[in-house]
Amino acid sequence: MLRPSGRTAFFTIHPAPGLTRAQRRRASRDGPIAVAAARPHRQLLQAAGFTQVTETDFTAEFAATTRAWLRHWDAGHADLVDLLGEQAFADRQTDRRAQLRAIEDGILARSLLTARRPDDQHRGRAR
Amino acid sequence: MAWSRCVSTARYGICWVTWGLRAGGVRVTKAERAAAERFAERYRVAPAEVSRRVELAVIGGDWGANGYTTKQQADLLGRELGLGPGVRLLDLGAGRGWPGLYLAAATGCQVVLADVPIEALRAAAARARRELLAGRAAQVAASARALPFGRAVFDAIVHADVLC
């Protein structure tokens, strides 16, 4: 789909590097749906032939945004309960608090990855 | 799928391509189907005023999004991808258009928004029409595991916390 020399850039939430098996399970449990990549995204991109792969840590920003969701949902409690119901509101906030704890404990991380598809004639050399 | 065909569908509706028991030869798993249904349920309801207010305060947008990509980070994606007029962007898991439709508006690029819940894509198509972006934005209902595009269609691909 991506033309030669085309670029991809994406944010992804993932288990922090170097976790034990139990910690990885916690990352899957407490993170968003499908925090389940078997290998680091950088490796996956390189294995797919992408070049100029960069990874920038955005975990601090991830924590700040999670805190902001918690804070602003609490501020809008009455309206959101009217909209969603008390149980759905409570469940959502509970999930966010568990996620925030996992971030603060170094279990969950978020990164910006960028990469370039090599020109077709250079594909062999890029690998 | 040719870009021109995708763009032409934007005027008439959404290009529904591959969702089914098998999507482009890839078997759809129970977990994928459950996730699709969960997201479809969420997208059936238009964002309420309180949701818009909170989203604006947290991520700086009003796209019915509830993730972690802020407006500042979406702008960073646009710069990293070198988006601008004439650039063809694919947004995977675009939901109601965040960040792909926003990037089309902000940079002048063309965009194809791909996602599974048709309800989200309908909302994105309606917003594209309202903001006079329909000529540069198309919606394709398809799983990221079985995308219907040909080779070398896009200059850039973006997603935000979709492939975790």
DSSP state of B134: G
Contact yes or no for A12 and B164 at CB 8 A: yes
Whether residue A100 is contained in a domain is answered as yes
CB-nearest partner of A73 from B49, B54, B156: B54
Give the global pTM. 0.85
How many domains in chain A?
A: 1
Give just the sign of the alpha carbon dihedral A20, A21, A26, A32: positive
Query: Phi then psi for B98, rounded to 5 degrees?
Result: -105, 120
Residue A1 lies in a domain: no
pLDDT greater at residue A119 or residue A32: A119
Using a CB-CB cut-off of 8 Å, the residues of chain B touching A13 are: 68, 161, 164
Q: Which residue of A has its CA nearest to B36?
A: A33
> What confidence score (pLDDT) does residue B142 get?
86
Least Cα separation, residue B48 to chain A (angstroms): 8
Cβ <8 Å between B164 and A13: yes
In this complex, is the C-beta atom of A60 within 8 Å of any C-beta atom belonging to chain B?
A: no
- Phi/psi at B67 (5° precision): -100, -145
DSSP codes joined into one string, B55-69: HHHHHS--SS--SS-
Report residue B27's pLDDT band, with 50, 70 and 90 as the boundaries: low
Tell me: the pLDDT tens digits for A89-117?
999 999 999 999 999 999 999 999 999 99
The interface predicted TM-score (ipTM) is 0.88
Mean pLDDT of A22-40: 75
How much is the pLDDT for A30?
80
Cβ(A49)–Cβ(A118) below 8 Å: yes
Neighbours of B82 (CB within 10 A): 14
In whole angstroms, what is the distance from residue A5 CA to residue A119 CA?
Answer: 5
Rounded CA gap, A86 and A98, in Å?
18
Residue A64 lies in a domain: yes
* DSSP state, residue B151: T
Helix (H, G, I), strand (E, B) or coil at A1: coil
Query: CB-CB: which of A34, A37, A114 is closest to B80?
Result: A114
CA B74/CA A116 separation, integer angstroms: 18
| Mutation site for A-interface testing, chosen from B29, B54, B66, B68 by largest number of A Cβ within 10 Å | B68
- Residue A68: half-sphere exposure toward Cβ, Cα within 13 Å: 19
Longest dimension (CA), chain A: 60
The verdict on residue A2 lying in a domain is no
- Closest CA–CA distance from residue A12 to any residue of chain B (Å): 4
Q: How far is A95 from chain B (nearest CA, A)?
A: 13
Per-residue pLDDT band at A72 (split at 50, 70, 90): very high
Average pLDDT over residues A27-45: 76
Cβ–Cβ gap B73/A68 under 8 Å: no
Residue A82 lies in a domain: yes
Tell me the β-bridge partners of B113. Answer: B91, B139
Q: Which residues of chain A from 25 to 54 reach within 8 Å of chain B, CB to CB? A: 31-37, 41
In this structure, what CATH number is given to the domain that contains residue A64?
3.40.50.150
Q: How far apart are CA B51 and CA A75, in angstroms?
A: 12
Q: Which residue did the predictor score with more confidence, A13 or B27? A: A13
Residue A117 and residue A48 in contact, taking contact as beta carbons nearer than 8 Å? no
- With respect to residue A126, please indicate whether it lies within any of the assigned structural domains: no
Collapsed DSSP state (helix, strand, coil) of residue B76: helix
* Averaged pLDDT score across all residues of chain A: 89
Cβ of B34 under 8 Å from any chain A Cβ?
Answer: no
Question: In Å, how far is A37's CA from the nearest CA of chain B?
Answer: 6
Asked if residue A45 is part of any domain, the answer here is yes
Residue B82's pLDDT is: 98
Domain-embedded: residue A98: yes
CB-nearest partner of A3 from B35, B50, B154: B154
pLDDT in tens, B77-131: 999 999 999 999 999 999 999 999 999 999 999 999 999 888 899 999 999 999 9
Query: CB of B71 within 8 Å of any CB in chain A?
Result: no
The domain containing residue A111 runs over which residues?
7-121
Question: Domains of chain B by range and CATH?
Answer: 3-158 (3.40.50)
Q: What is the pLDDT of residue A102?
A: 93
Q: Is A12 on the interface with B (CB under 8 A)?
A: yes
